[in-house]
Amino acid sequence: MQGPEVFLNDLELSVNCVVNTNQKAQLDPEHRVFVNWETYYFSDNKAVKKFNKSAYKFTGKLTDPVSQKRFQPDKKSPSRTIDGRLFYFLNKDNALAFDADPDAFVTPVVGMKKM
């Protein structure tokens, strides 16, 4: 699957690093991380590593893949990693529902509400 940076670069857009917010992010797959259905870009490999250690500190609100409710993850939020993508969940029950059938939840639902 092709990442969104191809289109961002074609449009000559820039975004700031989510860890080093005063630096421009590099829009390429090596400096990109997906969490739930969000995409994050980073200025350098050190920022990627810092983000991956405790992503919940940098993500802002996410959409739970099971309930589709927006929430702010924290240190205690259940999480899973599927095919290199980190998912946080609103609660343990949603994480268990995800475990039962991850393929049903890894792709966003068309018309999903963002709150």
Give the pLDDT confidence score for residue 111 in this predicted structure. 57
CA–CA distances in Å: residue 69 to residues 80, 84, 91, 107 = 17, 22, 11, 15
Domain ranges in the chain are 5-104
Give 46-70 pLDDT, tens digit per residue.
999 999 999 999 999 999 999 999 9
Selection from 87, 67, 69 nearest residue 77 by Cα: 87
pLDDT digits (tens, 9 = 90+) for 71-89: 999 999 999 999 989 999 9
pTM of the model: 0.85
74: its two tokens: 């924290």
- Angle ∠(74,36,18) on CA atoms, nearest 5: 65
